[in-house]
Amino acid sequence: MIRSMTGYGKGESSDQNGHCLVEIKTVNNRYGEVSLKMPRSFMGYENDVRKIVGARVKRGKADLFVQWETSTNELAVPSLNNAVAKGYHQAFLDLAHELHVSAEIPLSLIISQKNVLQETLTDEETDLLPTLIKAVNIALENLDGMRIKEGEALQADMVARRNELAGLVKDLRERSPQVVVEYQIKLQQRVEKLLNGTEMDPQRLAQEVALLADRCDITEELVRLDSHFSQFDDALKLKEPVGRKLDFLMQEINREVNTIGSKANDAAITSLVVQMKAELEKMREQVQNIE
C-alpha cells in the first residue's frame, strides 16, 4: 500500500482534567524526523509520543502540535518555590543596600516574580498521558487516511508511466536488430561506390559489421531493465514503506537507459531514449513523495 509522505491529521480527546487537541503534519524528507511542540506539563510524555509517531511515520518530517485546555472543575494548587522566593528577596535587599535606600519589600512583589508560584495539578489528576495518547492516535489515523489517498493517486500515475515505458522498451527491443542490418547495407553500398567495380572482401565487411554489432548491442541492458521493472512492479504491491526501494530502482533504471543512449548509433533509438528519460524524470519526482 503506497503512502505519500505529505499529509495532515487532527485528533481530540477529553477527560475530567481538560481537553487535548493534537495536530500533525508531514512533509517530504529523506529520513524520518519527528518534531514536537507541547505544553510544559506534557514534556514528560515526549518519548512516549515519539515512539507512537515513529511507528506510524517511517519516512518524512513530522511536526506534531499539542494544545491543552484545562477544564473548569480541575483542581489546581499553587506551588511555592521557596529557594527562588528567598533568592529574589535577598537580591532586593542587596540592591537597596547598594543604593543606600531603605524600603520595605512587599510580599506581593516577590510572589509576582517568575517561577516563584507555579500552578500544578493535584497528585490524583496529573496523569494526562492516556488522554494525550488517544488524541495522538486519532490524529495519526486521520493523517494516514490522507496519505493513503494521495498515495493511491501517486501509484496510479506511476503505473500509467510504467506502462508507457514498457511500450518504449518494446520499441527498443524491436529496433535494435534492425540497426545492424541497416548498417551492413549502408556500409556495403559505400564500399561498392568507393571500389568502383572492384571486388569487395566479404570477410573484411563481415568484421566491420560484427564490430558495430558488438558496440551497439543493448541486450544486457534490456535484460536488466526487465528485472528492474519487475522489482518496481512488485514493490508497488507491498504493504510496507517502499519509498527508498523505489528511489534506488529509479536510479538503476536511469543508469541502464543512459547506457543504451551512449551505445546508440541510431536516430530512432536515440529518440526512444529521450522519451524514456522524460518519463523517468516524472516518475522520480513522484517517488520522492512516497514513504
What does the pLDDT look like over 124-167, one tens digit per residue?
446 889 999 999 999 999 999 999 999 999 999 999 999 999 99
Residue 25's beta-bridge partner residues? 8, 63
| Average pLDDT of span 231-251 | 91
pLDDT interval class at 196 (50, 70, 90): low
Higher pLDDT, 245 or 185: 245
pLDDT interval class at 122 (50, 70, 90): very low
pLDDT of residue 36: 95
Residue whose cell numbers read 517502499: 242
The percent of residues above 90 in pLDDT, for the chain, comes to: 48
pLDDT of residue 197: 59
In this predicted structure, the answer to whether residue 75 has a pLDDT above a threshold of 70 is: no
What is the rounded CA–CA span in Å between residue 184 and residue 175?
Answer: 15
Higher pLDDT, 26 or 104: 26
Write the CA distances from 16 to 23, 70, 270, integer angstroms. 21, 9, 70
Q: Is 238 exposed, middle or buried (0-12, 13-18, 19+ CB in 10 A)?
A: exposed
pLDDT of residue 124: 45
Among 6-10, 64-68, 213-217, where is mean pLDDT lowest? 213-217
| Average pLDDT of span 257-281 | 89
The answer to whether residues 15 and 22 touch, using CB atoms and an 8 Å cutoff, is no
- CB neighbour list of residue 212: distance below 8 Å, 6 or more residues apart: 180, 183, 265
| Average pLDDT of span 187-205 | 62
pLDDT of residue 98: 85
Start-end of H helices in 63-201 = 82-98, 107-111, 129-195
The percent of residues above 70 in pLDDT, for the chain, comes to: 82
pLDDT of residue 46: 93
Query: pLDDT tens across 7-21, in order?
Result: 999 999 998 888 999
- CB neighbour list of residue 171: distance below 8 Å, 6 or more residues apart: 272
